[in-house]
Structure 1
Amino acid sequence: MRLSALSRLVRLSLARERRGAFFSAFGVAMGVGALVFFVGLGLGVGSVIREKVFPSDARLVDVVPASVSLGSLLGGGTLDTAAVERLSGLAGVERVYRKMNVRVPAVSRYEGAFFGSRLRMGMEVLAVGVEPDFVRADVKIGSFQDVPPDQPIPVVISTRLLEIYNKTFAPARKLPQLSSQMLLGFGFPVEFNRSFVAQTAPGPTTPAQAQVVGASDRALLAGITIPLDTAIRLNRASGVDAETFSGVTLVAKDPSQVPALIDAVKQMGLEIDDQERRMAENAGAAVALTTSALALLSILICVLAAVNIAHALSASVRARAREIGVMQAVGASRADVRNIVLAEACVLGIAGGAVGTAVAMALALGTDKLAARALPSFPFKPDSFFSFPWPVVLGGVVLGLVAALAGAYFPSRRAAATDPARTLAG
């Protein structure tokens, strides 16, 4: 049978059974729309978690000293210069970045103008020193290296800390919201080896001025990131350990080599600091589990839609038994009859899948607009909670087609098996 004749017969058949065709396509649209909506929501929320809340580079491995290990009892397990050299020699390591905490408490007492407001505040400050290349791409002014004691210490702040400040701290204190560009060049005092609550080291207090030179995802979340040589100098001035490192970040040549690097690091008596990675995985798993449950419900709706299509087409085949018998009597083959029924199902499935996908995307757009107006501002609030890559959009239409064809399988076989002689004889 020619395609033009097939399409004409399908069009006439669907026009005659408009009511049944509408409800069949509606069922498919409901199932597909729900599935596309929830999958898009899961992908969007998961993307926010990976890219904003817990951003990470798949090639990075954060190494820290083991608190208690056989290696530490035997003289290993510490991050001294020799350990760093061994780490840099591991197979698959491209770069090694050393880190050292400032091992004394610090405070910042600020009083003065703060971007159009008056600010008077004292707070404890955590500081970590990193090698300049680790955050060089995010340094926007000056250079990120140790400076003489009479010059401001270059500081890189966390972009996530800035987000938390803008969405929680600033509104609560009626302070202006800031961007990373606004903070460039901003200076504030810091006193090392001084604390409001913690015990200080025997050494002297070291007053200094800090100056923001950039913001980075790699910076310390709850503190300031300074040059490694500056951290070493401050630790020596306070009389605390300035020889061993607090952590080392390994950059693997390829993400596939990370598991082998982790095993090699543990064999050295060291540990992996994967707290943020595990938190991201746990949050992602929770989102994936919820999305899977909702997607399963949507698939069940699609199954019900397929059953509805099977019922509707079976009724249609029974009602058109004489018509089918006439077509077979004038030369239509069983394959022609089967193709007519399957073609009707294809039209219903593609139409239902396309409409359901379009409705899901429109509903997602409406949800985003409603969330922008109704939900309060909170850290890492995205512009959109949804993500619809093309495989999801195409998959919605394909799912509608598959559901319709599954429902039409048995009705099409029943139609093809019609005996024209018996049917026409009544």
Structure 2
Amino acid sequence: MMPIGNLSKMVVANTLRSPRHFVLSAFGIVIGIATFVVFLASTEQVSAVLEKIFPLEQVQVVAPRAVLGTLDVSKKLDDNIVQTILKRPEVKQAIPRMNLVFPAFGRGSFEGNDLKFEVGGFADGVDPSFVRDDPRIIELFKDWQSDEKDPHRIACVPPPKTDDDEVIQSPKAPPKGRQTKVPTSNGWDSQPAPAPTPQTPPADGSAATAAPDSGSGSVAVTPAPTGAYVAGKNGEYLNPCPEPDRYYCDEETLRCEHRVPIVMSPTMIELYNGQFAKSHGLPIADTDFVKFVTQRGGLGSMRFSIGLGQTTIAGSNTAIKHKPRRVEGVLVGISHSAMPIGMTMPIQYIQRWNLQYMGEQAATTYSSIIVTLKDRNKIAPFAQWLQDKLDLRLEDSLGEKFATVLFVVRLVLVLISLIIIGISAINIAHNFFMQVTERRRELGLLRAIGATQSDVRMVVLGEAALIGLIGGLLGVLLGMAIAAGIDYASAHYLPRFPYKPATWFSFKWWIWGGGLACAAGFAVLGGYLPARRASTMEPAQALTQN
């Protein structure tokens, strides 16, 4: 048995002394491995982007739509259904979502433009514990109205009504030094506190001031302070609340309330950047939300008004149980947990508003339930159980369909790569058969001086493996160079579109490791028959042939 050190030296020397043979044998390996790693890296990156858009371990449970005449008689999703789902062994988490089920529209200012947009039908609520994308979001995304000990919730004078009851823009903050401070025992801003007077009930009999709690829907009347509001140079209303970037004066509770925290999905930002911004001459929104907000002057620049019970759609005839009113919201972050098209807020706000405007049933019926499974492979049995036991179903999952298509595409591309590498293995076999014929005297001499059949076989297979490894390494480098070129062309010549990635490739360690292993394996496979033929040569016959 030839020592490993001597065998290695001989293999390297034999490989390097015939560059033509090396190039002919390695060329196919280089091309095959380059396509192999490029295809795998591209599908891996697409899969990563897909999982961001559609978390494959999360499914959405909905009730099948059932209509009787003009009435929606679909099964009701409520807390009992949520608890039943949570008892399933494959379920990790079940979070209900609730849609805003009455008209509402928003009005805000962005880059000097007056934006009006429909909120009813494009807003839902979710438990704050479900939105965990960013620590900054966790801090702000909660039910602020439930905190009765918040020192900023002081009495205030709301903005005056307009003649046409139009939803106004979110009022500006007063200059520094004129903002209302938290009241002390001596009054406001060291001045005597204004004497509170009860709000006069409106003529239509609706509640004057309401701060309904999430359960009962009862209203708490807050005395309104008398006196003029804080005004600007031109007499315009200015936000009188402490921390005006976060608080506003609510016209119903007559207290400073924290703006409703809103999150939007990356899909909304991508749609804005890809279509809306360009067509309206607006700047591209930075995907880094903190940077985007900082560039525009802080969180206060993300505020907007929401007109509850009002709409921009003519002919809307939804019957509501409460007079229209204005609240304010603030965009606090971007979250994959938000509804794809629209806005998401803490579910407690949606429950209170649905209770006020539509009644008890609207406040206790969920639009869907987001279920996180412990194992994504358990989707099929869970879906069958839902259908058989609860008469519910999973919403058609685009993510699952895309994942299936991606798997098939990846399989086809990998098969193409393996076919290329297989052809290169045949090429290696052909070249090595030629080499064995040309080197028969050399191989015969090895046998004559004491090399065994296994030694000769190991020499030939070692040369094939070395060619495979070097060819594989060159193939990986070529693949990464091709990927870099595609990324450069994409960044400079391809227009923006939703979810356009910074790179189209993800070169995980197992991709280039698998590329090297395939290269060496197929090269050895191609060299096996020539090695076997070389090892079975009779020394005397090989030495006497010309």
Aligned residue identity for 2:64: A
1:70-81 counterparts in 2 under 5 A? Answer: 77-81=75-79
**Which of 276, 284, 295 is the aligned partner of 1:177?**
284
**Which of 271, 275, 300 is the aligned partner of 2:392?**
271
CA distance in 2, matches of 1:34, 1:228: 49
1:133 aligns with 2:133: no
Most deviating of 187-196 and 404-413: 187-196
CA distance in 2, matches of 1:267, 1:154: 39
The residue number in structure 1 matching 2:318 is: 201
The residue number in structure 2 matching 1:390 is: 509
CA distance in 2, matches of 1:94, 1:319: 67
Q: 1:95/1:315 Cα in 2 relative to 1: closer, same or farther (>3 Å)?
A: closer
1:300-339 counterparts in 2 under 5 A? Answer: 300-339=419-458
Q: 1:266/1:339 Cα in 2 relative to 1: closer, same or farther (>3 Å)?
A: same
Structure 1 residue 408, shift from structure 2 partner: 0.9
For residues 25-61 of structure 1, give each alpha carbon's deviation from its aligned partner in whole angstroms, at most 9, with x where no partner exists: 122111111111111111112211212x33x262x44
The residue number in structure 2 matching 1:159 is: 266
**Which of 61, 64, 67 is the aligned partner of 1:66?**
64
Q: 1:88/1:162 Cα in 2 relative to 1: closer, same or farther (>3 Å)?
A: same
> Once the two structures are aligned, what percentage of the paired residues are identical?
30
The residue number in structure 1 matching 2:7 is: 6
Whether contact under 8 Å (2:141, 2:262) holds in the other structure is no
For residues 320-372 of structure 1, give each alpha carbon's deviation from its aligned partner in whole angstroms, at most 9, with x where no partner exists: 22222222222222112212211111111111111111111122122212211
Whether contact under 8 Å (1:153, 1:211) holds in the other structure is yes
The residue number in structure 2 matching 1:28 is: 29
Aligned residue identity for 1:362: A
Structure 1 residue 214, shift from structure 2 partner: 3.2
For residues 158-212 of structure 1, give each alpha carbon's deviation from its aligned partner in whole angstroms, at most 9, with x where no partner exists: 2331232233322321223335331734221222333333623222433322222
Greater helix percent: which structure?
1
For residues 261-296 of structure 1, give each alpha carbon's deviation from its aligned partner in whole angstroms, at most 9, with x where no partner exists: 444433343424443xx2123223333333332322
**Which of 220, 239, 245 is the aligned partner of 2:366?**
245
Most deviating of 388-397 and 243-252: 243-252
Whether contact under 8 Å (2:91, 2:372) holds in the other structure is yes
Q: 1:339/1:219 Cα in 2 relative to 1: closer, same or farther (>3 Å)?
A: same
For residues 202-245 of structure 1, give each alpha carbon's deviation from its aligned partner in whole angstroms, at most 9, with x where no partner exists: 22433322222333211122222223232222223323533322
1:403 aligns with 2:399: no
Most deviating of 201-210 and 384-393: 201-210
Structure 1 residue 304, shift from structure 2 partner: 1.6
The residue number in structure 2 matching 1:191 is: 307
Most deviating of 307-316 and 195-204: 195-204
Aligned residue identity for 2:267: R
Runs of 4+ in 1 over 6 A off after TM superposition: none
Q: Secondary structure at the match of 1:6?
A: helix
Q: Structure 2 length as normaliser, TM-score?
A: 0.69
Whether contact under 8 Å (2:262, 2:333) holds in the other structure is yes
**Which of 410, 414, 420 is the aligned partner of 1:291?**
410
CA distance in 2, matches of 1:131, 1:245: 12
The residue number in structure 2 matching 1:17 is: 18
CA distance in 2, matches of 1:236, 1:290: 49
**Which of 105, 108, 124 is the aligned partner of 1:107?**
105
Aligned residue identity for 1:242: A
CA distance in 2, matches of 1:335, 1:9: 15
Whether contact under 8 Å (1:64, 1:270) holds in the other structure is no
CA distance in 2, matches of 1:258, 1:371: 36
Structure 1 residue 94, shift from structure 2 partner: 5.1
Structure 1 residue 393, shift from structure 2 partner: 0.8
CA distance in 2, matches of 1:196, 1:76: 28
Aligned residue identity for 1:80: D
1:120 aligns with 2:114: yes
CA distance in 1, matches of 2:511, 2:317: 57
CA distance in 2, matches of 1:344, 1:292: 31
CA distance in 2, matches of 1:212, 1:21: 62
Unmatched runs of 5 consecutive residues or more in structure 1: 70-74
Structure 1 residue 256, shift from structure 2 partner: 6.4
Q: Structure 1 length as normaliser, TM-score?
A: 0.87
CA distance in 2, matches of 1:165, 1:425: 81
Q: 1:146/1:247 Cα in 2 relative to 1: closer, same or farther (>3 Å)?
A: farther
Structure 1 residue 146, shift from structure 2 partner: 6.0
Whether contact under 8 Å (1:24, 1:305) holds in the other structure is yes
Q: How big is the alpha-carbon RMSD for the aligned residues of Structure 1 and Structure 2?
A: 2.7
Aligned residue identity for 2:284: Q
CA distance in 2, matches of 1:174, 1:145: 36
Q: Secondary structure at the match of 1:161?
A: helix
Structure 1 residue 20, shift from structure 2 partner: 1.6
CA distance in 2, matches of 1:219, 1:175: 24
Q: 1:86/1:350 Cα in 2 relative to 1: closer, same or farther (>3 Å)?
A: closer
1:366-377 counterparts in 2 under 5 A? Answer: 366-377=485-496
Q: Secondary structure at the match of 1:401?
A: helix
Whether contact under 8 Å (1:140, 1:184) holds in the other structure is no
